[in-house]
């Protein structure tokens, strides 16, 4: 498994992008997992939709 840092911001806020680390097989899988979870979180907290800015490879898990 690889570790990716996924940078995102909320559509309702013009804030600095936030970052979350995720373990996934590929960048596409990392984006999908993070996007699904952020949609749930955004609806609960009225933050709007997540906007994925960048996905950066961090390393491999042991």
Q: For the chain, how many structural domains are there in total?
A: 1
Computed from CA positions of residues 38, 39, 40, 43, in that sequence, does the dihedral angle turn out positive or negative?
Answer: positive
pLDDT at site 2: 95
Please give the residue range of the domain that contains residue 38: 2-60
pLDDT at site 16: 84
Which residues make Cβ contacts (< 8 Å) with residue 21, sequence separation at least 6? 3, 4, 5, 6, 58
pLDDT at site 54: 95
pTM: 0.86
pLDDT at site 28: 96
CATH assignment of the domain containing 13: 3.10.20
21 strand-pairing partners = 5
């Amino acid at each position: 498994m690889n570790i990716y840092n996924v940078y995102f911001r909320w559509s309702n806020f013009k804030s600095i992008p936030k970052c979350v680390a995720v373990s996934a097989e590929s960048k596409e899988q990392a984006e999908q997992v993070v996007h699904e979870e952020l949609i749930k979180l955004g609806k609960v907290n009225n933050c709007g939709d997540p906007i994925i800015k960048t996905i950066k490879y961090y390393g491999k898990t042991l």
